[in-house]
Structure 1
Amino acid sequence: MSEAGTPTKRAGLFDLRWVIALLFGFYGIVLLVVGIAFTTEADTAKAGTNLNLWSGLGMLGLAILFAAWAQLRPLRVPTAASEGAATGPADDADGAGER
């Protein structure tokens, strides 16, 4: 976490949880549509259940959990002004800066 006086901002879409939520949500919707519109009785009888439908619902549920987690507990990153002031310039290969 950041120190008490350090200004921070939300990471937004750079937070990996949002990327995971979007991907699971997209594929969940695709599977849900396939499960509802394109699954035949023969497919359901072969597997015993409509796997596309239930997998799509599970993926949508997981996407909602990841989105809620990212929204309720956002990733905070320090602002550019506070980064430069704390570390100073780093202009050589090992990041040591001028000494």
Structure 2
Amino acid sequence: MPESPEVRDGVTELERKSASAARLFDIRRIIGGLFTLYGVIVTVAGVMASDADLRKAQGININLWTGLGMLALGLFFLTWLKLRPTAPPAPPNN
């Protein structure tokens, strides 16, 4: 039995929404966003470190270095997402 144009349009719209949802919840977006956000927060904490904080860490500004590493990792994930986006799922062959 042939499908009506309304049914085909409805299926096409659902497939488009499904592909958008798959791209929205891509794990790279979540990991990249969180690492970038936390990286900024920890980097700012490292920039604002006091002399007492540096003495406790034997002169190494651990917050600054950890924050920069987290920021780099987060930006890597977001760049990866931008360069290789999630492909939409293939439509079923019925």
TM-score over 0.5 (shorter chain): yes
Match of 2:32 in 1: 21
- Greater share of helix: 2
TM-score, scaled relative to structure 2: 0.69
Deviations 1:46-72 (A, max 9, x none): 212111111111000001110111111
- SS of the aligned residue for 1:78 comes to coil
TM-score (norm 1): 0.66
1:12 Cα offset (Å): 2.4
CA contact (8 A) 1:20 1:66 kept: yes
Q: Name the residue aligned to 2:89.
A: 78
Measured in 1, the distance between the counterparts of 2:55 and 2:24 equals 42
Number of equivalenced pairs? 76
Structure 1: runs of 5 or more not aligned: 1-6, 89-99
Q: What SS does structure 2 have at the residue aligned with 1:77?
A: coil
More strand by share: 1
- Structure 1 residue ranges (4+ consecutive) displaced by more than 3 angstroms after TM superposition: 7-11
| 1:39-78 equivalence runs, <5 A | 39-47=49-57, 48-78=59-89
1:4 aligned residue: none
Show structure 2 runs of 5+ residues with no match. Answer: 1-14
Percent identity reads 43
Cα RMSD after superposing both structures? 2.2
